[in-house]
Amino acid sequence: MTLDEILEPIKTELIQFETYFKQMLVSEIGLVIDVINHINSNNAKRLRPSVMFLVANALGKANQNTFTAAAMIEILHTATLIHDDVIDNSKQRRGKLSVNANWNNKIAVLVGDFLFARGMKPALDNKELEFMLQIIAPVTEQMIEGELLAIQLSDSLDFNEKSYLDIIFSKTASLISAACKTSAMTIIDDKITINAFAEYGKNVGIAFQMRDDIFDYSSNSNHIGKPVGNDIREKKITLPLIFALKNSTKDEQIEILKLIQKRNIIDVEIKQIIDFAISKGGIEYTTNKANEYSQTAIKCLDILPDSDAKTALLNFAQFVVSRDK
Protein backbone atom coordinates (compact mmCIF):
# COMPACT_ATOMS: atom_id res chain seq x y z
CA MET A 1 0.00 0.00 0.00
CA THR A 2 1.42 3.40 -0.95
CA LEU A 3 1.69 6.31 1.45
CA ASP A 4 -0.75 8.36 -0.64
CA GLU A 5 -3.31 5.56 -0.35
CA ILE A 6 -2.81 5.36 3.42
CA LEU A 7 -3.26 9.12 3.83
CA GLU A 8 -6.36 9.35 1.60
CA PRO A 9 -8.69 9.88 4.64
CA ILE A 10 -6.82 13.11 5.52
CA LYS A 11 -6.19 14.41 2.01
CA THR A 12 -8.23 17.56 2.67
CA GLU A 13 -6.43 18.28 5.95
CA LEU A 14 -3.01 17.93 4.30
CA ILE A 15 -3.92 20.38 1.53
CA GLN A 16 -5.14 22.88 4.12
CA PHE A 17 -2.04 22.26 6.20
CA GLU A 18 0.34 23.26 3.38
CA THR A 19 -1.28 26.70 3.17
CA TYR A 20 -1.32 27.13 6.95
CA PHE A 21 2.29 25.94 7.32
CA LYS A 22 3.60 28.40 4.73
CA GLN A 23 1.67 31.24 6.35
CA MET A 24 3.41 30.51 9.65
CA LEU A 25 6.82 30.91 7.98
CA VAL A 26 6.24 34.35 6.46
CA SER A 27 9.17 36.73 6.94
CA GLU A 28 10.08 40.25 5.80
CA ILE A 29 13.71 39.21 5.24
CA GLY A 30 14.36 38.29 1.62
CA LEU A 31 17.13 35.82 2.47
CA VAL A 32 14.87 33.97 4.92
CA ILE A 33 12.14 33.79 2.28
CA ASP A 34 14.60 32.37 -0.26
CA VAL A 35 15.81 29.68 2.13
CA ILE A 36 12.30 28.71 3.21
CA ASN A 37 11.16 28.52 -0.42
CA HIS A 38 14.13 26.23 -1.08
CA ILE A 39 13.14 24.04 1.88
CA ASN A 40 9.50 23.90 0.78
CA SER A 41 10.54 22.90 -2.75
CA ASN A 42 12.13 19.71 -1.45
CA ASN A 43 8.90 17.72 -1.48
CA ALA A 44 8.85 17.18 2.27
CA LYS A 45 7.02 14.04 3.33
CA ARG A 46 5.03 15.74 6.13
CA LEU A 47 4.95 12.42 7.96
CA ARG A 48 4.57 14.00 11.40
CA PRO A 49 1.61 16.26 10.51
CA SER A 50 0.08 13.32 8.62
CA VAL A 51 0.14 11.00 11.60
CA MET A 52 -1.14 13.85 13.80
CA PHE A 53 -4.21 14.35 11.61
CA LEU A 54 -4.83 10.61 11.61
CA VAL A 55 -4.63 10.54 15.41
CA ALA A 56 -7.01 13.50 15.71
CA ASN A 57 -9.53 12.00 13.29
CA ALA A 58 -9.35 8.62 15.03
CA LEU A 59 -10.53 10.42 18.17
CA GLY A 60 -12.92 12.89 16.59
CA LYS A 61 -11.98 15.57 14.07
CA ALA A 62 -8.84 17.66 13.62
CA ASN A 63 -9.41 21.23 14.82
CA GLN A 64 -7.48 24.50 14.70
CA ASN A 65 -5.35 23.48 17.67
CA THR A 66 -4.42 20.28 15.82
CA PHE A 67 -3.27 22.33 12.82
CA THR A 68 -1.25 24.63 15.09
CA ALA A 69 0.37 21.69 16.88
CA ALA A 70 1.16 20.01 13.56
CA ALA A 71 2.79 23.17 12.23
CA MET A 72 4.85 23.58 15.41
CA ILE A 73 6.08 20.00 15.20
CA GLU A 74 6.90 20.26 11.48
CA ILE A 75 8.76 23.56 11.94
CA LEU A 76 10.78 22.07 14.79
CA HIS A 77 11.54 18.99 12.68
CA THR A 78 12.63 21.16 9.74
CA ALA A 79 14.93 23.22 11.97
CA THR A 80 16.62 20.10 13.32
CA LEU A 81 17.19 18.77 9.79
CA ILE A 82 18.90 22.02 8.79
CA HIS A 83 21.15 21.90 11.86
CA ASP A 84 21.84 18.18 11.35
CA ASP A 85 23.07 18.86 7.81
CA VAL A 86 25.50 21.46 9.18
CA ILE A 87 26.75 19.11 11.88
CA ASP A 88 27.16 16.23 9.41
CA ASN A 89 28.44 18.46 6.60
CA SER A 90 25.74 16.90 4.41
CA LYS A 91 25.41 18.31 0.91
CA GLN A 92 22.05 16.78 0.02
CA ARG A 93 18.59 16.70 1.53
CA ARG A 94 15.93 14.64 -0.26
CA GLY A 95 17.97 14.61 -3.46
CA LYS A 96 18.52 18.39 -3.55
CA LEU A 97 21.20 20.66 -2.17
CA SER A 98 20.97 21.11 1.59
CA VAL A 99 20.65 24.65 2.94
CA ASN A 100 24.28 24.71 4.07
CA ALA A 101 25.44 23.52 0.64
CA ASN A 102 23.25 25.98 -1.29
CA TRP A 103 24.22 28.91 0.96
CA ASN A 104 26.65 28.31 3.83
CA ASN A 105 26.79 26.99 7.40
CA LYS A 106 26.27 30.43 8.96
CA ILE A 107 23.02 31.04 7.09
CA ALA A 108 21.84 27.47 7.72
CA VAL A 109 22.37 27.76 11.48
CA LEU A 110 20.64 31.15 11.65
CA VAL A 111 17.64 30.00 9.61
CA GLY A 112 17.42 26.90 11.80
CA ASP A 113 17.39 29.17 14.86
CA PHE A 114 14.72 31.33 13.23
CA LEU A 115 12.55 28.27 12.69
CA PHE A 116 13.01 27.10 16.30
CA ALA A 117 11.78 30.49 17.52
CA ARG A 118 8.93 30.70 15.01
CA GLY A 119 7.78 27.19 15.91
CA MET A 120 7.28 28.15 19.55
CA LYS A 121 5.47 31.42 18.81
CA PRO A 122 1.86 30.14 18.53
CA ALA A 123 1.97 28.58 21.99
CA LEU A 124 3.44 31.76 23.43
CA ASP A 125 0.80 33.92 21.74
CA ASN A 126 -2.12 31.74 22.87
CA LYS A 127 -2.27 30.83 26.55
CA GLU A 128 -4.63 27.94 25.75
CA LEU A 129 -1.74 26.27 23.88
CA GLU A 130 0.75 26.29 26.76
CA PHE A 131 0.35 22.53 27.07
CA MET A 132 2.10 22.23 23.69
CA LEU A 133 5.20 23.96 25.03
CA GLN A 134 5.16 21.67 28.07
CA ILE A 135 5.53 18.73 25.67
CA ILE A 136 7.67 20.24 22.91
CA ALA A 137 10.28 22.06 25.04
CA PRO A 138 11.53 18.89 26.84
CA VAL A 139 11.52 17.00 23.53
CA THR A 140 13.69 19.69 21.94
CA GLU A 141 16.16 19.29 24.80
CA GLN A 142 16.05 15.51 24.41
CA MET A 143 16.73 15.72 20.67
CA ILE A 144 19.79 17.90 21.26
CA GLU A 145 21.08 15.56 23.95
CA GLY A 146 20.60 12.64 21.55
CA GLU A 147 22.71 14.39 18.93
CA LEU A 148 25.43 15.11 21.48
CA LEU A 149 25.39 11.50 22.68
CA ALA A 150 25.74 10.32 19.08
CA ILE A 151 28.77 12.58 18.59
CA GLN A 152 30.31 11.40 21.86
CA LEU A 153 29.90 7.74 20.94
CA SER A 154 31.12 8.20 17.38
CA ASP A 155 34.36 9.62 18.76
CA SER A 156 34.86 6.69 21.14
CA LEU A 157 33.23 4.01 18.92
CA ASP A 158 31.66 2.72 22.15
CA PHE A 159 28.37 1.60 20.62
CA ASN A 160 25.96 -1.14 21.68
CA GLU A 161 22.29 -1.84 21.03
CA LYS A 162 21.15 0.02 24.14
CA SER A 163 23.05 3.19 23.29
CA TYR A 164 21.78 2.94 19.72
CA LEU A 165 18.17 2.75 20.96
CA ASP A 166 18.77 5.69 23.32
CA ILE A 167 20.02 7.77 20.39
CA ILE A 168 17.27 6.95 17.91
CA PHE A 169 14.60 7.48 20.54
CA SER A 170 16.02 10.87 21.47
CA LYS A 171 16.76 12.06 17.92
CA THR A 172 13.75 10.67 16.05
CA ALA A 173 11.13 8.75 18.01
CA SER A 174 10.72 11.30 20.81
CA LEU A 175 9.40 13.92 18.38
CA ILE A 176 6.98 11.50 16.69
CA SER A 177 5.79 10.39 20.13
CA ALA A 178 5.30 14.03 21.14
CA ALA A 179 3.46 14.69 17.87
CA CYS A 180 0.96 11.89 18.52
CA LYS A 181 0.53 12.86 22.16
CA THR A 182 0.00 16.54 21.36
CA SER A 183 -2.49 15.75 18.63
CA ALA A 184 -4.50 13.53 20.95
CA MET A 185 -4.54 16.31 23.55
CA THR A 186 -6.11 18.71 21.05
CA ILE A 187 -9.14 16.39 20.90
CA ILE A 188 -9.57 14.61 24.24
CA ASP A 189 -8.56 14.73 27.89
CA ASP A 190 -8.23 11.02 28.63
CA LYS A 191 -4.74 10.19 29.94
CA ILE A 192 -4.87 6.48 29.09
CA THR A 193 -5.72 7.16 25.45
CA ILE A 194 -3.23 10.04 25.20
CA ASN A 195 -0.43 7.85 26.61
CA ALA A 196 -1.39 5.04 24.21
CA PHE A 197 -0.84 7.40 21.30
CA ALA A 198 2.46 8.57 22.78
CA GLU A 199 3.55 4.91 22.86
CA TYR A 200 2.28 4.41 19.31
CA GLY A 201 4.41 7.34 18.13
CA LYS A 202 7.47 6.14 20.05
CA ASN A 203 7.35 2.67 18.52
CA VAL A 204 6.57 3.90 15.02
CA GLY A 205 9.46 6.35 15.34
CA ILE A 206 11.94 3.67 16.38
CA ALA A 207 10.78 1.37 13.58
CA PHE A 208 11.01 4.25 11.10
CA GLN A 209 14.60 5.07 12.07
CA MET A 210 15.69 1.44 11.96
CA ARG A 211 14.34 1.20 8.42
CA ASP A 212 16.21 4.40 7.53
CA ASP A 213 19.43 2.92 8.92
CA ILE A 214 18.99 -0.17 6.75
CA PHE A 215 18.92 2.05 3.66
CA ASP A 216 22.51 3.10 4.35
CA TYR A 217 23.53 -0.49 3.66
CA SER A 218 21.19 -1.56 0.90
CA SER A 219 19.90 1.25 -1.33
CA ASN A 220 21.18 3.73 -3.89
CA SER A 221 21.60 7.45 -3.34
CA ASN A 222 19.30 8.54 -6.18
CA HIS A 223 16.44 6.57 -4.65
CA ILE A 224 16.72 7.65 -1.02
CA GLY A 225 18.13 11.15 -1.53
CA LYS A 226 21.41 10.71 0.33
CA PRO A 227 24.65 8.88 -0.40
CA VAL A 228 24.80 5.18 0.50
CA GLY A 229 27.31 4.56 3.28
CA ASN A 230 26.86 8.12 4.52
CA ASP A 231 26.40 7.00 8.14
CA ILE A 232 29.61 4.98 7.92
CA ARG A 233 31.52 7.97 6.55
CA GLU A 234 30.27 10.01 9.50
CA LYS A 235 31.30 7.22 11.91
CA LYS A 236 27.68 6.57 12.89
CA ILE A 237 27.56 2.93 13.90
CA THR A 238 23.94 1.87 13.58
CA LEU A 239 22.20 -1.40 14.43
CA PRO A 240 23.15 -3.42 11.30
CA LEU A 241 26.83 -2.90 12.07
CA ILE A 242 26.43 -3.18 15.85
CA PHE A 243 24.87 -6.63 15.42
CA ALA A 244 27.50 -7.66 12.86
CA LEU A 245 30.38 -6.64 15.12
CA LYS A 246 28.82 -8.42 18.10
CA ASN A 247 28.60 -11.62 16.04
CA SER A 248 32.12 -11.60 14.61
CA THR A 249 35.59 -12.63 15.72
CA LYS A 250 37.96 -10.31 17.54
CA ASP A 251 40.15 -10.04 14.44
CA GLU A 252 37.15 -9.13 12.28
CA GLN A 253 36.08 -6.49 14.80
CA ILE A 254 39.55 -4.93 14.83
CA GLU A 255 39.71 -4.84 11.03
CA ILE A 256 36.30 -3.19 10.62
CA LEU A 257 36.82 -0.67 13.43
CA LYS A 258 40.17 0.33 11.94
CA LEU A 259 38.43 1.12 8.67
CA ILE A 260 35.74 3.19 10.39
CA GLN A 261 38.37 5.16 12.31
CA LYS A 262 40.18 6.21 9.13
CA ARG A 263 40.10 9.96 8.48
CA ASN A 264 39.28 9.55 4.78
CA ILE A 265 37.53 6.27 4.17
CA ILE A 266 37.26 5.38 0.47
CA ASP A 267 34.39 3.80 -1.48
CA VAL A 268 35.93 0.33 -1.63
CA GLU A 269 36.28 0.34 2.16
CA ILE A 270 32.69 1.51 2.57
CA LYS A 271 31.63 -1.44 0.43
CA GLN A 272 33.74 -3.79 2.56
CA ILE A 273 31.96 -2.62 5.72
CA ILE A 274 28.53 -2.89 4.06
CA ASP A 275 29.29 -6.41 2.82
CA PHE A 276 30.48 -7.34 6.33
CA ALA A 277 27.26 -6.10 7.95
CA ILE A 278 25.14 -7.96 5.41
CA SER A 279 27.12 -11.22 5.67
CA LYS A 280 26.85 -11.22 9.46
CA GLY A 281 23.06 -10.84 9.40
CA GLY A 282 22.94 -7.20 10.45
CA ILE A 283 20.29 -6.21 7.91
CA GLU A 284 18.08 -9.20 8.71
CA TYR A 285 18.36 -8.57 12.47
CA THR A 286 17.54 -4.87 12.14
CA THR A 287 14.59 -5.64 9.87
CA ASN A 288 13.20 -8.07 12.44
CA LYS A 289 13.63 -5.55 15.26
CA ALA A 290 11.92 -2.83 13.23
CA ASN A 291 9.00 -5.18 12.58
CA GLU A 292 8.74 -5.88 16.32
CA TYR A 293 8.43 -2.17 17.10
CA SER A 294 5.89 -1.77 14.29
CA GLN A 295 3.76 -4.56 15.79
CA THR A 296 4.02 -3.00 19.25
CA ALA A 297 2.77 0.29 17.79
CA ILE A 298 -0.17 -1.52 16.19
CA LYS A 299 -1.16 -3.06 19.55
CA CYS A 300 -1.35 0.45 21.04
CA LEU A 301 -4.38 1.09 18.81
CA ASP A 302 -6.46 -1.71 20.32
CA ILE A 303 -8.26 0.86 22.48
CA LEU A 304 -9.77 2.56 19.42
CA PRO A 305 -13.06 1.70 17.71
CA ASP A 306 -12.82 0.86 14.02
CA SER A 307 -12.65 3.82 11.64
CA ASP A 308 -10.92 4.90 8.44
CA ALA A 309 -8.39 6.85 10.52
CA LYS A 310 -7.61 3.83 12.72
CA THR A 311 -7.11 1.66 9.63
CA ALA A 312 -4.77 4.32 8.22
CA LEU A 313 -2.77 4.37 11.48
CA LEU A 314 -2.45 0.57 11.35
CA ASN A 315 -1.30 0.76 7.74
CA PHE A 316 1.09 3.60 8.55
CA ALA A 317 2.81 1.50 11.22
CA GLN A 318 3.32 -1.22 8.61
CA PHE A 319 4.38 1.27 5.93
CA VAL A 320 7.31 2.66 7.94
CA VAL A 321 9.01 -0.76 7.87
CA SER A 322 8.04 -1.79 4.33
CA ARG A 323 8.89 1.45 2.48
CA ASP A 324 11.80 1.51 0.06
CA LYS A 325 12.78 5.16 0.49
For residue range 233-281, list pLDDT tens digits in order.
888 889 999 999 999 999 999 999 999 888 888 999 999 999 999 999 9
Q: Per-residue pLDDT tens for 287-314? A: 999 999 999 999 999 999 999 999 999 9
Q: Contacts from 62-67 at CB under 8 Å and sequence distance 24+? A: 62/10, 62/13, 62/183, 62/186, 62/187, 63/186, 63/187, 65/128, 65/129, 65/186, 66/183, 66/186, 66/187, 67/13, 67/16, 67/17, 67/20
Burial of 259 (0-12, 13-18, 19+ CB in 10 A): middle
Per-residue DSSP letters for 106-140?
HHHHHHHHHHHHHHHHHHHH-GGGHHHHHHHHHHH
Length of the chain (residues): 325
Q: Per-residue pLDDT tens for 147-201? A: 899 888 877 777 899 999 999 999 999 999 999 999 999 999 999 999 999 999 9
Looking at residue 220, its pLDDT comes to 54
Residues 321, 292 contacting (CB under 8 angstroms): no
* 317-to-57, 192, 201, 260 alpha-carbon distances in Å: 16, 20, 9, 33
Under DSSP, is residue 58 helix (H, G, I), strand (E, B) or coil?
Answer: helix
Q: Per-residue pLDDT tens for 197-244? A: 999 999 999 999 999 999 989 755 444 445 578 888 888 889 999 999
* Segment among 16-20, 125-129, 245-249 with least mean pLDDT: 125-129
pTM of the model: 0.92
Taking residues 49-63, what's their average pLDDT?
96
Measured CA to CA, the distance from residue 204 to residue 310 in angstroms comes to 14
List all residues 6 or more positions away from 62 whose beta carbon is below 8 Å from its beta carbon: 10, 13, 52, 53, 56, 183, 186, 187
List all residues 6 or more positions away from 177 whose beta carbon is below 8 Å from its beta carbon: 139, 198, 199, 201, 202, 205
- For the chain, list the domains and their CATH numbers: 14-322 (1.10.600.10)
Looking at residue 221, its pLDDT comes to 43
User: Is pLDDT of 68 > 80?
Assistant: yes
Looking at residue 176, its pLDDT comes to 97
List all residues 6 or more positions away from 287 whose beta carbon is below 8 Å from its beta carbon: 210, 214, 321
User: Is pLDDT of 82 > 70?
Assistant: yes
127 pLDDT band, cuts 50/70/90, is confident
Looking at residue 219, its pLDDT comes to 59
